[in-house]
Structure 1
Amino acid sequence: MMRTLILYIGILAGAACTQQREQLRSGDLLFQVGRESAMSGAIMAATGNDCELQFTHVGIAVIGSRADSVLEATSDGGVRMTVLSDFLNKSARLNGRPVSIAKRLKDTAGIAAAVARARTFLGQPYDYSFRPDNGKLYCSELVWESYLAPDGRRLFPAQPMNFRAADGSMPPFWNELFAKLGEEIPEGLPGTNPNDMSRDTLLTEVFRWF
């Protein structure tokens, strides 16, 4: 009986992986609710709203003939390529499944160029300052810099950044981070975040893991 159950679970897992691979394409944006950390908590407090999910991270799918990866900017490695399974392991869990969603541009004409452009940023350090044009990138900034309209404009709009929680208070994480950097908190400067980007009407959902 136990052997039959294990075999059944294995068949289901294999079917799910096949469905995932068939639906994902290079250039899909993978939005993630990260596991609880000081940074993800501060991001969620500042960019969350009444929607069901509050995304704290985004990466770019790179689907290969042998391995699937995610191009992402992370606080522990800068802009790098991460194996898809490792990316998903960093997600929060819902009923044991990673809380991550894949979305795709409705107009797919420029996606290949966007992925090629994103690759040129590999090795750049993480942008703890959250400021544009400083040779560093945070996760949604990588997407913002890579996905361009035919006329060179960025597809995803930058908005005045908010670092405050819903009650108007500043999470201690941001005060401590920018004190260490010796910089002012860039409240109100133009920027992006995964939560807003995930809800852009240019995108449509193609797969979810939970």
Structure 2
Amino acid sequence: MSEFKIFFSKKIKEIIVFGMLSCLVVLLIQCHHNSGKVQLKNGDLLFVTAKESGLSGAINNVTQKEKAASFDHIGILEKEGKRMFVLHAAPKGGSQKQDLKDFIKDQKDEGQEVVIYRLKPEYQKAIPDAVKKANSMLGKPYNFNYILDEQSYYCSDFVERAFRAENIFKLEPMTFIDPKTGKTNAFWEEFYHKKNLKVPEGELGCNPNGLAGSDKLERVENF
């Protein structure tokens, strides 16, 4: 009888140890899974990768500075409790506050990805006022001319203005020159010709690739 008790006791211990080890493995797997999730922060900048053709490709053609940065759109993340929104200026809807899930879906539907950038720690203090400023600009129409205008905004223009008080970004002379030919990109030549406007070569402006290249930002990861 005593041998049975000893055997039974050993089996109980083995079952308990096995159960504890199983729980530990599950916890380790769960922790690893969670560590791979993006921890979004208020004021994060969401950059959208550029396409190779059309307006997206034309923007990237004359503004891309490095292979790692190839973007044609940008928005500011705003966290309100457990809800998250993107403050941005887009052709459809103008300057708007869009639910993050809808924003991500729109990009994925177009075959584009979202890359998260974040202000470096020493510039984080600029975020509250920038988010407040961005909210004050909502409702303005989209600037389809891409020439700075106080009554309408395009995507990088919207973001630059939001952070302007803290000098996070800077306006630079725009260029529409195709680096491969040294001449004005054919898309932009026709684009402004149809609008009866002169190509605004050299005028101050900004673009997503330029903002992504700021030394005040750090790339976090893909969404």
TM-score category, normalised to shorter length: 0.7 to 0.9
Residues 35, 92 of structure 1: 8 Å contact kept: no
| Structure 2 equivalent of residue 38 of structure 1 | 54
Q: What is the deviation of 1:41? A: 0.9
| Structure 1 equivalent of residue 199 of structure 2 | 185
RMSD between aligned residues:
2.6
Residues 131, 186 of structure 1: 8 Å contact kept: yes
2:212 to 187, 190, 198: 198
Mapping for residues 144-163 of structure 1, pairs under 5 Å: 144-150=160-166, 154-163=167-176
C-alpha change, 1:186 and 1:204, in structure 2 (3 Å) is same
| Structure 2 equivalent of residue 109 of structure 1 | 125
| Structure 2 equivalent of residue 4 of structure 1 | none
| Structure 2 equivalent of residue 208 of structure 1 | 222
Q: What is the deviation of 1:201? A: 0.8
Residues 58, 139 of structure 1: 8 Å contact kept: yes
Residues 35, 91 of structure 1: 8 Å contact kept: no
What TM-score, normalized by structure 1, do the two folds share? 0.79
Q: Which runs of 5+ in 1 are unaligned?
A: 1-10
Alignment of 1:176 onto 2:166: no
User: What is the rounded CA distance, in whole Å, between the counterparts of 2:35 and 2:52 in structure 1?
Assistant: 26
Q: How many pairs does the alignment contain? A: 189
What TM-score, normalized by structure 2, do the two folds share? 0.74
Q: Compare the two structures and name the one with the higher helix fraction.
A: 2
SS at match of 2:124: coil
Q: Which runs of 5+ in 2 are unaligned?
A: 1-28
Q: What is the deviation of 1:158? A: 1.0
C-alpha change, 1:160 and 1:81, in structure 2 (3 Å) is same
C-alpha change, 1:16 and 1:64, in structure 2 (3 Å) is farther
User: What is the rounded CA distance, in whole Å, between the counterparts of 1:55 and 1:75 in structure 2?
Assistant: 16
Q: What is the deviation of 1:70? A: 0.7
Q: What is the deviation of 1:105? A: 1.5
User: What is the rounded CA distance, in whole Å, between the counterparts of 1:18 and 1:81 in structure 2?
Assistant: 27
Q: What is the deviation of 1:137? A: 0.7
Aligned-pair identity in percent equals: 33
Residues 34, 92 of structure 1: 8 Å contact kept: no
Q: What is the deviation of 1:18? A: 8.7
Q: What is the deviation of 1:87? A: 2.1
SS at match of 1:82: strand
1:125 to 124, 137, 141: 141
Amino acid in structure 2 at the alignment position of 1:138: Y
Q: What is the deviation of 1:17? A: 10
| Structure 1 equivalent of residue 88 of structure 2 | 72
Q: What is the deviation of 1:16? A: 6.2
Q: What is the deviation of 1:197? A: 0.8
User: What is the rounded CA distance, in whole Å, between the counterparts of 2:178 and 2:107 in structure 1?
Assistant: 22
SS at match of 2:37: helix
Give deviations 1:134-161, integer Å, cap 9, x for gaps: 31111110111110345xxx32111110
User: What is the rounded CA distance, in whole Å, between the counterparts of 1:52 and 1:92 in structure 2?
Assistant: 19
C-alpha change, 1:86 and 1:176, in structure 2 (3 Å) is farther
